[in-house]
Chain A
């Protein structure tokens, strides 16, 4: 499953406004078969995560029981029901990555960020999760940050990877401020 990229423009939009936009999405998709997963993906991209209000709106709009919506959301690790940081880090613990040190990479990230799996840093910059296989087994261990795959990651090089994203944010902030 691919994740629709989160809104990068950093504009502040109220939840009511986003829920109104979600209505349009639901109206567009409700006639299509298999609409639930695409609508959830779009909603997650809009809100950054899946708030209860959005999931309930989707349940009613697509005529799917709330338990079914929840079942789908809780099945796929790419869906999140808690607010997440600006950047999502996923550490692959598939077989190849696991045997080539994925676990150590994960431990290093936990220590660096001071958070556990499924949590978000206090400054809402990074969230950490585990995943099973990005299809990059030949270059294990791999991690994904947002939509970028980083290969042959070593615990010692973690900070360098994180810095790329911190620098990007700083540049964006400077641009916005200009």
Chain B
């Protein structure tokens, strides 16, 4: 292992380590901008320049590998002054409306200027052209704020394999954007918002709907209910300075109540409902294949993640029959809230407003899909990201830290631990297996602490197999059958699994896909910046929430049973079909 000195501190690191990572070990923090751990190291921005003794010029530490005996100075006059010049030049072409920017106090460029002690910008000159793209329901782009770091290009093209964003033009005219500087709506874009999640500045962000939410709350003619996705409780605290992985479920409920929502409910409730519907859908597909010998689309894919749905509509339209027809928990909630719950409280669907708090930008898009009107009006009216909720709570002057813990309301707020784990990769599959196994075998789910370990964790593609040794009479055709399942997170990984399925190389019955790396806890609407370390911390919190509940299996949720008794009838029944299931449409890529 090479040994080197960084600012006179000796460090020994494995061959191939970058100077930047070696410096971390030496206790030296080199400033960066375009660098993004586990995603991108391209030396584009030149902010991480350091001086290496004997080298002709300063080098970008994120792309320079260490060498034996190397002497690195990160804080020499030359390195400091070059770094400052680089940041000043970036600032000279930045629109700089910090006070009114959504990223004020949450901006890596602002931090950099502050850390480097930049008090004056010595360069003035032409500024890049401003183009504001508001073409999509989920995302807003502002080219005047872009620093051309290319993080979004890397996540869009490589992590997600979508390719909506790419550098256009050349030199000073360079714009990071859709083809020929058109709008996002004109190209393939799944609205996942991973671009905005990695953007160091305010160049790509969610479409802010806070004012719409306040307006609904202030309208005396409306009953406004809110649902919170499972991933929010493990991340919202970060907006208020809590470390990643802090569970704030109780404070979140309190905050929502103080904001004035008439009822605070849980998307978890409809996550449990999804498991009942989707589990039964899987079993009915298996029955068709194994007993009735009818042609049926297998493997079945999960359908909770709207970015994934839009992705498969673009890239594999011939496989739409393989996608579960179940709506996502967000949309099931909207449809149930405006029918079942509305009747219970004697309101008409049109007098109700359903607000969702989601870790996701694509959920904004999903709520506006024309088919999501099964209550007679739009099922979900306003979708706020975790970040927007954080800002809304601050705008309302609520001191989050001092809030007491509160509980979700009835009758659509109670959930099992199986619903909590919808928040992370592998969770929907584990939740489904907990229920399907017990339905089929009539025996308790035989996994330690109910966790199916092979499908947990952050590996891109994971798989597991589970054999139904014995069955109850209804599912006797599954006796001895081994169900093979797979899990992918990040659309690039989804693509690799689909290609393996299409080539016949891999065979599965059921595949979970989540659009974002890590699942919803790493969603495009979560507090920035989501690194793998943050993902692990949030997943840890989610499992803690699951393990802390008595109720850990969707089919045991008493309020779900009641919903079927009072309203839905039975899984996959006529009311379910109308309210809880949907269809998809092929989309053209260009």
Binding site for B on A (CB under 8 A): 56, 59-60, 64-71, 74-77, 81
Q: What is the minimal beta-carbon distance from A2 to any residue of chain B, in angstroms?
A: 19
Residue from B162, B168, B589 in contact with A70 in the complex, judged by beta carbons closer than 8 Å:
B168
A71 to chain B: closest residue by CB: B166
Q: In the complex the two chains form, is A74's CB within 8 Å of B157's CB?
A: no
- B-chain residues with CB within 8 Å of residue A65 when the two chains form the complex: 157, 162-164, 166, 187-188, 589
Q: In the complex the two chains form, is B167's CB within 8 Å of A59's CB?
A: no
Determine which residue in A67, A68, A71, A77 has the highest number of CB atoms from chain B within 10 A of its CB, and name it.
Answer: A67
Q: In the complex the two chains form, is A66's CB within 8 Å of B187's CB?
A: yes
Known: A60-B590, A65-B187, A67-B179. A75 touches B163 (CB 8 A): no
Bound Cα distance from A85 to B590, whole angstroms: 28
- A-chain residues with CB within 8 Å of residue B169 when the two chains form the complex: 74-75
- A-chain residues with CB within 8 Å of residue B188 when the two chains form the complex: 65-67
Residues in B162-209 with C-beta less than 8 Å from chain A: 162-170, 177-180, 187-188
Bound Cα distance from A69 to B163, whole angstroms: 10
Residue from A60, A64, A74, A77 in contact with B163 in the complex, judged by beta carbons closer than 8 Å:
A64
Q: In the complex the two chains form, is B589's CB within 8 Å of A60's CB?
A: yes
Instruction: For the A-B complex with A74-B168, A74-B180, A75-B167 known, give 11 more contacts whose Cβ atoms are closer than 8 Å.
Output: A59-B590, A64-B163, A65-B187, A65-B188, A66-B188, A67-B166, A67-B187, A70-B180, A74-B170, A76-B170, A77-B170
- B contact face: mostly helix, strand, loop, or mixed: loop
B207-224 CB contact bits vs A (8 Å, 1 = yes)?
A: 000000000000000000
- B-chain residues with CB within 8 Å of residue A60 when the two chains form the complex: 589-590
B174 to chain A: closest residue by CB: A75
Q: What is the minimal beta-carbon distance from B229 to any residue of chain A, in angstroms?
A: 29
- B-chain residues with CB within 8 Å of residue A74 when the two chains form the complex: 168-170, 180
B165 to chain A: closest residue by CB: A67
- B-chain residues with CB within 8 Å of residue A76 when the two chains form the complex: 170
A81 to chain B: closest residue by CB: B180
Closest 5 CB pairs of A and B: A65-B163, A70-B179, A71-B166, A67-B166, A56-B590
| 19 contacting pairs across A/B (C-beta < 8 A) | A65-B589, A66-B163, A66-B187, A66-B188, A67-B166, A67-B177, A68-B157, A68-B163, A68-B166, A69-B179, A70-B168, A70-B179, A71-B168, A71-B179, A74-B168, A74-B169, A75-B169, A76-B170, A77-B170
Bound Cα distance from A76 to B179, whole angstroms: 14
- A-chain residues with CB within 8 Å of residue B166 when the two chains form the complex: 65, 67-68, 70-71
Bound Cα distance from A66 to B167, whole angstroms: 12
Q: In the complex the two chains form, is A67's CB within 8 Å of B170's CB?
A: no
Residues in B550-590 with C-beta less than 8 Å from chain A: 589-590
Bound Cα distance from A1 to B170, whole angstroms: 16
B179 to chain A: closest residue by CB: A70
Q: What is the minimal beta-carbon distance from B136 to any residue of chain A, in angstroms?
A: 14
Q: What is the minimal beta-carbon distance from B311 to any residue of chain A, in angstroms?
A: 13
Bound Cα distance from A59 to B315, whole angstroms: 13
- A-chain residues with CB within 8 Å of residue B178 when the two chains form the complex: 67, 70
Determine which residue in B162, B170, B180 has the highest number of CB atoms from chain A within 10 A of its CB, and name it.
Answer: B180
Q: What is the minimal beta-carbon distance from B460 to any residue of chain A, in angstroms?
A: 20
Bound Cα distance from A67 to B167, whole angstroms: 8
- B-chain residues with CB within 8 Å of residue A71 when the two chains form the complex: 166-168, 179
Bound Cα distance from A109 to B92, whole angstroms: 35
Bound Cα distance from A26 to B584, whole angstroms: 31
B143-164 CB contact bits vs A (8 Å, 1 = yes)?
A: 0000000000000010000111
B162 to chain A: closest residue by CB: A65
Q: What is the minimal beta-carbon distance from B174 to any residue of chain A, in angstroms?
A: 9
Bound Cα distance from A65 to B161, whole angstroms: 9
Q: In the complex the two chains form, is B164's CB within 8 Å of A67's CB?
A: yes
Residue from B170, B177, B589, B590 in contact with A75 in the complex, judged by beta carbons closer than 8 Å:
B170
B163 to chain A: closest residue by CB: A65
Q: What is the minimal beta-carbon distance from B180 to any residue of chain A, in angstroms?
A: 5
- A-chain residues with CB within 8 Å of residue B179 when the two chains form the complex: 66-67, 69-71
Bound Cα distance from A74 to B178, whole angstroms: 12
Bound Cα distance from A26 to B559, whole angstroms: 58
- A-chain residues with CB within 8 Å of residue B590 when the two chains form the complex: 56, 59-60, 66
Determine which residue in B162, B163, B590 has the highest number of CB atoms from chain A within 10 A of its CB, and name it.
Answer: B590
Q: In the complex the two chains form, is B163's CB within 8 Å of A67's CB?
A: yes
Determine which residue in A60, A74, A76 has the highest number of CB atoms from chain B within 10 A of its CB, and name it.
Answer: A74
B164 to chain A: closest residue by CB: A67
Q: What is the minimal beta-carbon distance from B190 to any residue of chain A, in angstroms?
A: 12
Bound Cα distance from A68 to B165, whole angstroms: 8
B167 to chain A: closest residue by CB: A71
- B-chain residues with CB within 8 Å of residue A69 when the two chains form the complex: 179
A72 to chain B: closest residue by CB: B166
Q: What is the minimal beta-carbon distance from A16 to any residue of chain B, in angstroms?
A: 18
Q: What is the minimal beta-carbon distance from B496 to any residue of chain A, in angstroms?
A: 14
Bound Cα distance from A70 to B590, whole angstroms: 12
Q: What is the minimal beta-carbon distance from B429 to any residue of chain A, in angstroms?
A: 29
Bound Cα distance from A64 to B164, whole angstroms: 11
Bound Cα distance from A178 to B180, whole angstroms: 45
B184 to chain A: closest residue by CB: A67
- B-chain residues with CB within 8 Å of residue A56 when the two chains form the complex: 590
Q: What is the minimal beta-carbon distance from A69 to any residue of chain B, in angstroms?
A: 7
Bound Cα distance from A111 to B166, whole angstroms: 37
Q: What is the minimal beta-carbon distance from B490 to any residue of chain A, in angstroms?
A: 17
- A-chain residues with CB within 8 Å of residue B157 when the two chains form the complex: 65, 68
Q: What is the minimal beta-carbon distance from A89 to any residue of chain B, in angstroms?
A: 20
Residues in B434-486 with C-beta less than 8 Å from chain A: none
Q: What is the minimal beta-carbon distance from A98 to any residue of chain B, in angstroms?
A: 16
Q: What is the minimal beta-carbon distance from A51 to any residue of chain B, in angstroms?
A: 13
- B-chain residues with CB within 8 Å of residue A81 when the two chains form the complex: 180
Bound Cα distance from A81 to B157, whole angstroms: 24
Bound Cα distance from A56 to B187, whole angstroms: 11
Bound Cα distance from A68 to B170, whole angstroms: 13
Bound Cα distance from A77 to B170, whole angstroms: 9
Bound Cα distance from A74 to B167, whole angstroms: 9
Bound Cα distance from A67 to B169, whole angstroms: 11
Q: What is the minimal beta-carbon distance from A95 to any residue of chain B, in angstroms?
A: 15
Bound Cα distance from A64 to B169, whole angstroms: 17
Q: What is the minimal beta-carbon distance from B518 to any residue of chain A, in angstroms?
A: 24
B329-355 CB contact bits vs A (8 Å, 1 = yes)?
A: 000000000000000000000000000
Bound Cα distance from A166 to B178, whole angstroms: 40
Q: What is the minimal beta-carbon distance from A135 to any residue of chain B, in angstroms?
A: 19
Bound Cα distance from A75 to B177, whole angstroms: 13
- A-chain residues with CB within 8 Å of residue B180 when the two chains form the complex: 70, 74, 81
- B-chain residues with CB within 8 Å of residue A77 when the two chains form the complex: 170
B169 to chain A: closest residue by CB: A74
Bound Cα distance from A75 to B180, whole angstroms: 10
Bound Cα distance from A59 to B162, whole angstroms: 13
Bound Cα distance from A69 to B166, whole angstroms: 9
